[in-house]
Chain A
Amino acid sequence: MQSGTAAVSMRDIVKAFGPVVANDKVDLDIFSGEILALLGENGSGKTTLMNILSGIYYPDAGHVSVNGREVSIRSPKDVYDLGIGMVHQHFKLVDVLTAAENIILGMPGEGNLDMKAVGRKILDICALYGFSVDPGQKVYDMSVSQKQTVEIVKVLYRGAKILILDEPTAVLTPQETEKLFRVLRNMKNDGKAIVLITHKLHEVEEISDRVAVLRRGKNAGELVTKNTDAAEMTNMMVGRAVTLNIARPEPKDPKPRIVVDRLTLRDEEGIIKLNEVSFTAYSGEVLGIAGISGCGQKELLETIAGLHPLKSGSVTYIKPETGEKIDMAGLDPREIFSLGVMLSFVPEDRLGMGLVGNMDLTNNMMLRSFRRGKSVFTDRKTPRNLARSVVDELSVNTPGLTTPVRRLSGGNVQKVLVGREISSSPTVLMTAYAVRGLDINSSYTIYDLINQQKEKGVAVIFVGEDLDVLLELCDRILVLCGGRVSGIVAGRGADKNEVGLMMTKHGKETTHESDA
């Protein structure tokens, strides 16, 4: 496909975890001066492959060559020596250290440490590729995008010529993504080899030169980006033709279901997380919540679910049958449930909050129902049946009902969680980053489930990070910035750039609900 020696060439890579073969004779070439997009559904083996390249796993079989020379990568340290750098999705920075300190952390050296020289070298790198980093800034003062920049500079500082970026845009606004892409192009022109792992196909089309697709642990094919389109890439990933439109039925008979009024929340240190947030969620509609990560989305849902003690403001639930108003402020999840509020919540942290990773499917189904009945013993039959029906209806791929859920892939974990949450026939469904890390197929399953709930008259609150999805799926979009509502826009016909700008600008005053 390309002339010259590959910067990295992986041949016949095999890696198995127990009975699961994550990589089955996978080949991959990475060339200098090129951006390669690595595509694949969850569980297709792309993370495993990149973990092998970054020294986290050792392959069971196969060969890795760097610049035409066969190497054995035994640890992340070998990786640095080979000029390979990986930027993980979850940043690995020390909060209390400065950018410069984080960048040189763990590097060998002798004698006095000359932080000024370090700072100069960092600024040189920044000037070369168009980053902006303040070497003396502490990490805890940084935005997500700044932290990411530090991660990238860190690997460049160590002389990386081959960069692997795992879903770098998942946490960025459209504007920040643009900035990142400009930098990536500069690096490419400088002769770096870049591997980009992402699920967002429009980004693949925009930035990459070549696409390598994995499917079920095997090579599914390679494409040159300018000769292909999103549909072809998707079909190659999934192995069959898929349509790429998210349905958005018109809301039927919307009625107020949850009224949030001037909600203010401080965390344990007294920092304001939510500032006078007001909105109404209606039955039969999907209310999207957009914002840069950490702007209060998580806290908003958790407060409604009763996980934070409320200082000021109110949350009122309106019963669909009677119209009776229930004040939910200050109640814990158990009290909310006992008042007959059918609230379901799919939290962001699936295995740490919504499910228990070490427990099996049946036990996880029991989380919501174990209190039922007067007996001191738990009823295991009902949850087991529920687990079975969730597995059947949502086609969860699992070895069995007694498998710990942490062993399942991301998409299947989410199906288990969503399946449990909607099984209780909720009247309100809140989801936080419901499709994060999910492949196309699983994502569409989740969108379909959300739309089914919407058509049943459930008030859905959907916190999302991908603006394209929010704009396609939601009836209205509430934009949060720094814990404040910076505006509520109608989903149909909303402008992506406008919403993107609202994500970074603070609303001057509390925006009160005006339209429905």
Chain B
Amino acid sequence: MNPTHREPWIRIARRDSIAAWHGWLIRLAGLLLALLVSAVVIYLIVRLNPIKVYSAMFEGNFGTNRRMWVTFRDIAMLLCIGIGLAPAFKMRFWNIGAEGQVLVGGIATAAVMIYCGKFMPTWALLIASLLASLVAGAVWGGIPAAFKARYGTNETLFTLMMNYVAIQLTSYFVAVWENPFGSNTVGIINQRTQTGWFPPLLGQKYMLNVLLVLVLTVAMFVYLRYSKHGYEIAVVGESNKTARYIGISVKRVLIRTMMLSGAVCGLAGFIAVAGASHTISTSTAGGSGFTAIIVAWLAKFNTFVMVLVAGLLVFLEKGAIQIASQYNLNDYASQMITGIILFFILGSEFFTRYRVIFRGRKGGR
């Protein structure tokens, strides 16, 4: 019966809008704070010089030419899946099935490399496996969309379960293509001839991976922002009612966009198999299909921002591995550091959207 008479000590209010420079200032502050806090943690727990630890992380990513290109390759892979997820998420279609879409793209690529590798030249193999992976991914993405359009099924569960189907399918093909017999792996496909592998460009093994994904980054940005399809996706994502009101067929956009999303994820499988590992296993996607969800959302579907986010995630992962091995730390210590950094960077997003008002302060920003 007696509400307090004092103003609350702390209040949180939504920001109406925020200037771009102000947002980036907050994010930069978050990054600096993250480095500061983890420096203290590093010093207190493992008694190491934080500066050295940070430079070791950098070493782990860019220390040698080879390492640098592996980093680029991994960023490209994660980014590619993120780009694939962008149109689905922009349409508010919860595609949790990138993992499976990558795998079926990988299976299709491996199949082309294995069955056609003997009589087709590399350029033809690349085109054939590119197309096969696109189609496989499109089908894998299109199935849950078609069910949603037709029967209103829940796409989150559906795409998630499709992942497990894809994993089982991969196990099956690993058994079929087992090489050498009894190894329970496919082995390196076309190891001697290297047919169907990405050729080195400008002397770099992974140049083609990076170039392909960069082209996709620009293309998807333009598609989502300037094309009629992109506009339809935005309208369907915001309101199905509005879409129907202006005569957009929601079902068609749903299926078309999910086929595109699946196709780009399938393409990531193509890059992973033909451009990186040259083999296929159940861990070909390796969880990237889930990590890419973070990439897509943090960047708010802006593919250029995704480059930064994917870069950060890969950098932290590789850095953690490096300090773990260089200083003989156990995994937990290095993961703690990446955890702290991620926490602050994600946390700074909160402050770009809300402001905190302390008692006695005027409500200004």
Q: In the complex, what's the smallest C-beta–C-beta distance from B20 to chain A, in angstroms?
A: 13
Separation of A72 and B5 alpha carbons in the complex (Å): 5
**Given A16-B363, A307-B245, A378:B235 Cβ within 8 A:** no
Quick check: is B192 within 8 A (CB to CB) of the other chain? no
With both beta carbons as reference points, the residue of chain A lying nearest to B1 in the complex is identified as A81
Q: B247 touching A82 by the CB < 8 A rule?
A: no
Q: A337 touching B234 by the CB < 8 A rule?
A: no
Stretch binding the partner chain, chosen from B129-137, B204-212, B222-230: B222-230
**Interface residues of B, CB < 8 Å — how many?**
32
Q: In the complex, what's the smallest C-beta–C-beta distance from B72 to chain A, in angstroms?
A: 31
Encode contact with B along A368-381: 1 for CB under 8 Å, 0 otherwise: 10110001111000
Q: A367 touching B235 by the CB < 8 A rule?
A: yes
A306 to chain B: which residues have CB within 8 Å? 247
Encode contact with B along A344-359: 1 for CB under 8 Å, 0 otherwise: 0101010011111111
- The range of chain A's interface size is 35 or more
Main SS class of interface, B: loop
Encode contact with A along B42-72: 1 for CB under 8 Å, 0 otherwise: 0000000000000000000000000000000
Q: Which of B228, B241, B362 contacts A376 (CB 8 A)?
A: B228
Q: In the complex, what's the smallest C-beta–C-beta distance from B28 to chain A, in angstroms?
A: 23
With both beta carbons as reference points, the residue of chain B lying nearest to A335 in the complex is identified as B247
Stretch binding the partner chain, chosen from B6-14, B159-167, B171-179, B270-278: B6-14
Separation of A358 and B234 alpha carbons in the complex (Å): 10
Q: B245 touching A378 by the CB < 8 A rule?
A: no
Q: A347 touching B247 by the CB < 8 A rule?
A: no
Q: B231 touching A366 by the CB < 8 A rule?
A: yes
B11 to chain A: which residues have CB within 8 Å? 58
**Given A18-B16, A70-B5, A78-B3, A345:B245 Cβ within 8 A:** yes
Quick check: is B244 within 8 A (CB to CB) of the other chain? yes
Within 8 A of A (CB), among B231-249: 231, 234-235, 238-239, 241-242, 244-249
Quick check: is A334 within 8 A (CB to CB) of the other chain? yes
Separation of A366 and B225 alpha carbons in the complex (Å): 13
Q: A356 touching B238 by the CB < 8 A rule?
A: yes
Q: A352 touching B1 by the CB < 8 A rule?
A: no
Q: B362 touching A60 by the CB < 8 A rule?
A: yes
Quick check: is A516 within 8 A (CB to CB) of the other chain? no
Q: A18 touching B239 by the CB < 8 A rule?
A: no
Q: A378 touching B231 by the CB < 8 A rule?
A: yes
Separation of A368 and B229 alpha carbons in the complex (Å): 15
Q: Which of A345, A371, A377 is the most central at the interface, judged by chain B CB atoms within 10 Å of its CB?
A: A377
B193 to chain A: which residues have CB within 8 Å? none
Q: Which of B5, B15, B231, B363 contacts A370 (CB 8 A)?
A: B231
Separation of A52 and B300 alpha carbons in the complex (Å): 33
Separation of A332 and B179 alpha carbons in the complex (Å): 56
Q: B238 touching A359 by the CB < 8 A rule?
A: yes
Quick check: is A333 within 8 A (CB to CB) of the other chain? yes
Quick check: is A73 within 8 A (CB to CB) of the other chain? yes
B228 to chain A: which residues have CB within 8 Å? 370-371, 375-378
A72 to chain B: which residues have CB within 8 Å? 3-8
Q: In the complex, what's the smallest C-beta–C-beta distance from B153 to chain A, in angstroms?
A: 17
Q: B3 touching A354 by the CB < 8 A rule?
A: no
Q: Which of A16, A58, A356, A377 contacts B242 (CB 8 A)?
A: A356
A200 to chain B: which residues have CB within 8 Å? none
Q: B226 touching A377 by the CB < 8 A rule?
A: yes
With both beta carbons as reference points, the residue of chain B lying nearest to A305 in the complex is identified as B245
Q: Which of B5, B11, B230, B363 is the most central at the interface, judged by chain A CB atoms within 10 Å of its CB?
A: B363
**Given A307-B245, A357-B238, A359-B234, A60:B3 Cβ within 8 A:** no
Q: B16 touching A17 by the CB < 8 A rule?
A: yes
Separation of A11 and B137 alpha carbons in the complex (Å): 63
With both beta carbons as reference points, the residue of chain B lying nearest to A372 in the complex is identified as B228
With both beta carbons as reference points, the residue of chain B lying nearest to A18 in the complex is identified as B16
Separation of A16 and B16 alpha carbons in the complex (Å): 11
Q: A333 touching B17 by the CB < 8 A rule?
A: no
Quick check: is A272 within 8 A (CB to CB) of the other chain? no
Separation of A347 and B239 alpha carbons in the complex (Å): 14
Quick check: is A71 within 8 A (CB to CB) of the other chain? yes
A345 to chain B: which residues have CB within 8 Å? 245
Separation of A334 and B247 alpha carbons in the complex (Å): 5
Q: Which of B3, B8, B231, B242 contacts A81 (CB 8 A)?
A: B3
Quick check: is A255 within 8 A (CB to CB) of the other chain? no
Q: A352 touching B239 by the CB < 8 A rule?
A: yes
Separation of A349 and B239 alpha carbons in the complex (Å): 11
With both beta carbons as reference points, the residue of chain A lying nearest to B365 in the complex is identified as A18
With both beta carbons as reference points, the residue of chain A lying nearest to B11 in the complex is identified as A58
Q: In the complex, what's the smallest C-beta–C-beta distance from A16 to chain B, in angstroms?
A: 6
A60 to chain B: which residues have CB within 8 Å? 362-363
Q: Which of B4, B238, B249 is the most central at the interface, judged by chain A CB atoms within 10 Å of its CB?
A: B238
Separation of A81 and B5 alpha carbons in the complex (Å): 13
Q: In the complex, what's the smallest C-beta–C-beta distance from A504 to chain B, in angstroms?
A: 30
Q: In the complex, what's the smallest C-beta–C-beta distance from B361 to chain A, in angstroms?
A: 10
With both beta carbons as reference points, the residue of chain B lying nearest to A371 in the complex is identified as B228
Q: A333 touching B247 by the CB < 8 A rule?
A: yes
Within 8 A of B (CB), among A148-185: none
Q: In the complex, what's the smallest C-beta–C-beta distance from A360 to chain B, in angstroms?
A: 11
Q: In the complex, what's the smallest C-beta–C-beta distance from A339 to chain B, in angstroms?
A: 12
Q: Sorted from nearest, which 4 A-B pairs have the closest CB atoms?
A: A334-B247, A333-B247, A18-B16, A60-B363
Chain B interfacial positions (CB closer than 8 Å to A): 1-8, 11, 15-17, 226-231, 234-235, 238-239, 241-242, 244-249, 362-363
What are 15 A-B pairs with beta-carbon distances under 8 A?
A72-B7, A81-B1, A81-B2, A305-B245, A333-B245, A334-B249, A335-B247, A352-B239, A353-B239, A356-B239, A363-B231, A376-B228, A377-B227, A377-B228, A378-B227
Given contacts A72-B7, A356-B234, A376-B229, 10 further A-B contacts (CB under 8 A): A18-B16, A307-B245, A352-B242, A353-B242, A355-B242, A356-B238, A359-B234, A363-B234, A367-B235, A370-B231
